[in-house]
Structure 1
Amino acid sequence: MLSLTGLMLLALPAYAQEALSTGSGIAAVGAGIGMGLATFGGALGQGRTGAAAVEGIARNPNAAPRVQTPMIIALAMTESLVLFSFVIAFFLQGKVH
Structure 2
Amino acid sequence: MAIEGADLIKAAAFLGAGIAMGLGAIGPGVGEGFAAGKACEAIGRKPEEAGLLTRTMLVGQAVSESTGIYSLVVALLLLFVV
TM-score, normalising length from structure 1? Answer: 0.72
Structure 2 counterpart of 1:31, from 13, 17, 27: 17
Q: What is the rounded CA distance, in whole Å, between the counterparts of 2:5 and 2:54 in structure 1? A: 54
How many pairs were matched up?
A: 78
Q: Deviations over 1:66-87 (max 9, x none)?
A: 2111101011111121111101
Which has the greater radius of gyration?
Answer: 1
Listed as ranges, the gaps of 5+ residues in structure 2 are: none
Q: What is the rounded CA distance, in whole Å, between the counterparts of 1:84 and 1:59 in structure 2? A: 35
Structure 1 counterpart of 2:60, from 57, 74, 97: 74
TM-score, normalising length from structure 2? Answer: 0.83
Listed as ranges, the gaps of 5+ residues in structure 1 are: 1-18
Q: What is the root-mean-square deviation in Å for CA atoms of aligned residues?
A: 1.7
Identity %: 33
* Higher relative contact order structure (alpha carbons within 8 Å, sequence separation ≥ 6): 2
C-alpha deviation, 1:62, in angstroms: 1.1
